A and B are shown apart, each in its own frame.
Chain A
């Protein structure tokens, strides 16, 4: 069975703080893909990153960084120097090539206060 768990339901930080959103996944597949999506208050789903199971290199994109660790089945997302515009619901997701399904975690609501 495939599962994605985002244990943090809501996080509130003050602008300029760093914040890490946790994601733990379960799968028996050897080949899979992990994603993060952002859903701002306007409601659309914005793709942030895709990682395949064979690439454990961490990635940095501006203020965003991702830490993929297969040993702990985690794919955590860090926002450095958070801004009010980062306020959104963030989803971690897992794609199985076997099932063809993209499974989402429950989402973490991030509120960045000025």
Chain B
């Protein structure tokens, strides 16, 4: 079984559309993250949720709205997509009280905005 799974793996859409990426982890972790990897391969944290509560929000445009229905799921909804949103989005999870930073990453979701 995949520990952290993201869907879809590939997403191609037009500017202005709204899209969602889903993430699920079966590791029993209490913290989940979204990272964005741009065309230059730079990986940057976007959001983090702990037990469904937002704990990190890295000045991401409010067109991006994460939602955590429970601690095993963290979805990313993006409104009014722009060309610059094209990237690979990685979901990750960890157990916060371990304080070790060991994140388990999903395989990534490649979003292409045309």
Contacts and interface: CB of A to CB of B under 8 A. Distances in A.
Interface of A: 31, 33, 35, 39, 43-45, 47, 50, 52, 89, 91, 93, 95-97, 99-104, 106-107, 109
A44 B105 contact: yes
Given A45-B90, A50-B102, A102-B101, A107 B41 contact: yes
30 contacts: A33-B101, A33-B102, A35-B101, A43-B88, A44-B105, A44-B108, A45-B108, A47-B102, A52-B100, A89-B41, A93-B101, A95-B101, A96-B101, A97-B99, A100-B48, A100-B56, A100-B96, A101-B45, A101-B56, A102-B33, A102-B45, A102-B101, A102-B103, A104-B43, A106-B40, A106-B41, A107-B41, A107-B42, A107-B43, A109-B41
A55 to B, nearest CB: 12
Interface size class of B (residues with CB under 8 A): 20 to 34
Given A43-B107, A100-B56, A101-B56, A50 B100 contact: yes
Contact of B105 (A45, A101, A103): A45
B55 interface: yes
B90 to A, nearest CB: 7
Nearest to B44: A104
Contacts of B96: 100
Interface in B80-114: 88, 90, 96, 99-103, 105, 107-108, 110
